[in-house]
Amino acid sequence: MFHHHTTVTSVRILRRLFGSVAFGALVVTPALTSSAASAQAFPSKPVKLVVPYPAGGFPDTVARVMAKALTEKWNQQVVIDNRPGGNGAVAAQTVKAAPADGYTLLVTDGSMFTINPALYAKLEYDAKKDFLPVSALAKAPLFLTAHPSLPANTFAEFVAYVKANPGKVNYASSGIGSTHHLSTEAMSAALGLKMVHVPFKGMGQAVPALVGGQVQVLFSALPATVGFVKDNRLKLLVQNSNKRFSGAPTIPTLAESAIPGFDFAPTTIVMAPSGTPPAVMRQLSLDAAAAARSASVAETLLNSGVEVIGSTSEELAKVLQDEAERFAKVIKTINIKAD
């Protein structure tokens, strides 16, 4: 049921990844030559990628793979600076305070720009004014993962069971207002499901609770659960992206199963401080997108449950706008406000 691709050739991976990706042309044109003069100057020293999470999560994994690829591309050291805390505020302040010259960038999931503004009355940063979009790097679908004790082996059976047993199924999340929480609530609101939310402090606590049977379901990225799925200690029911993940092609999406247009898969993005010169922005965007789509990066990330994108800054701006509208709607529907 589950295939973990480790030995697929890069060409096949690229073909599979980009067969249906709607994120712009795969070929990076030689338009770089026109800005060759300015391009020579950047980067002339190490570049820092600031990540608002501890080492090991989805954005951090993407940042590290990208850092390696960009170090080779630029012949300059690209370093990771993990600055967790304050729902992204610590990382945002670090990048905001740095010179707007392209040497200090933010690598995060979209939640800092699409969830936090709708969730928090006061933010330490302005999601629209303080940053410029560079590129959408990659997307990690979340899978609705169930404990074997739940008497449902397909998503349709799960919906029927929850409807027949309102309030009896507990679902976990990595915290209130997390993508995992909002994904579940958006699904429940669309289908009229009543489940009990059990928030944990991060996926490090939520996954063991699911494996132990304290909760019955959880939206989780694949790397956290793949071992348990292979051992039949957990089962995958549906995924929250708008298209099937090529690492688990047999698992349907919510969009095709029950809720057209449903897409809450987190996207890892690169943002630069406002005021970064346009020539530097253009080069950052081209180089980040090209690195994300390189065969080695695509293959490495696919094995981590991540599908690469590599978009232009305009495409990322649109992704953020669409996501922000979707999340704001859900947050309003379920009426949550964080402090």
Number of helices and strands (H, E) in the chain? 14, 11
Does residue 58 lie in a domain region?
yes
Task: For residues 90-112, give the mean pLDDT.
Answer: 96
Residue 304: its pLDDT value, please? 86
66 and 171 within one domain: no
Q: Same domain for 93 and 113?
A: yes
Quick check: bond before 273 cis, omega within 30?
A: no
User: In CATH, what number is assigned to the domain containing residue 25?
Assistant: 3.40.190.150
* 2 belongs to a structural domain: no
39 touches 283 (CB < 8 A): yes
For residues 20 and 122, membership in a common domain is answered with yes
CATH number, domain containing residue 161? 3.40.190.10
- pLDDT tens, position by position, 138-160: 999 999 999 999 999 999 999 99
* pLDDT computed for residue 337 by the predictor: 64
Residue 321's domain spans which residues? Answer: 10-140+266-334
Together in a domain, 271 and 169: no
45 and 131 co-located in one domain: yes
- Kindly indicate the confidence band of residue 22, based on its pLDDT and cuts at 50, 70 and 90: very low
The domain boundary, picked from 236, 257, 278, lies at 257
Reduced to 3 states (helix: H, G, I; strand: E, B; else coil), residue 260 is coil
Is 60 exceeded by the pLDDT of residue 36?
A: no
| Residues 173, 111 share a domain | no
pTM of the model: 0.81
Name the 3-class secondary structure at 39.
helix
In a domain, residue 4? The reply is no
Residue 122 lies in a domain: yes
Average pLDDT, the chain: 88
Tell me whether residue 5 is in a domain.
Answer: no
Interatomic CA distance for residues 155 and 256, integer angstroms: 11
How far is residue 138's CA from residue 56's CA, in Å, rounded to a whole number?
A: 16
CA 309 vs. chain centroid, Å, equals 11
**Of 212, 232, 257, which residue is a domain's last?**
257
Same domain? 216 vs 124: no
Please count the other Cβ atoms lying within 10 Å of the Cβ belonging to residue 318.
14
Of the residues 217, 239, 257, the one at which a domain ends: 257
d(CA 199, CA 188): 16
Say yes or no: 194 and 276 in one domain.
no
276-332: pLDDT as tens digits: 999 999 999 999 999 999 999 999 999 888 999 999 999 999 999 999 999 999 998
Is the predicted pLDDT of residue 33 greater than 60, yes or no? no
Indicate the pLDDT class of residue 105, thresholds 50, 70 and 90: very high
Cα of first residue to Cα of last residue in the chain, in angstroms, is 42
Per-residue pLDDT reduced to its tens digit, 162-204:
999 999 999 999 888 889 999 999 999 999 999 999 999 888 8
pLDDT of residue 2: 44
Q: Which two tokens stand for residue 142?
A: 């979340």
Distances (CA, A) of 312 to 66, 111, 167, 271: 16, 19, 44, 12
Q: How many residues does the chain have?
A: 339
Q: Report, as an integer, the average pLDDT of 54-79.
A: 94
In this structure, the answer to whether residues 52 and 121 fall within a common structural domain is: yes
Name the domain count of the chain. 2
pLDDT at position 7: 36
Q: Are 129 and 49 part of one and the same domain?
A: yes
Residue 252 and residue 282 in one domain: no
Whether 116 maps to a domain, the answer reads yes
Q: 199 and 124 in one domain?
A: no
Mean pLDDT of 211-232: 94
**3-class DSSP state of 306:** coil
Note whether residue 224 is domain-resident. Answer: yes
- In a domain? residue 222: yes
pLDDT digits (tens, 9 = 90+) for 111-133: 999 999 998 888 999 999 999 99
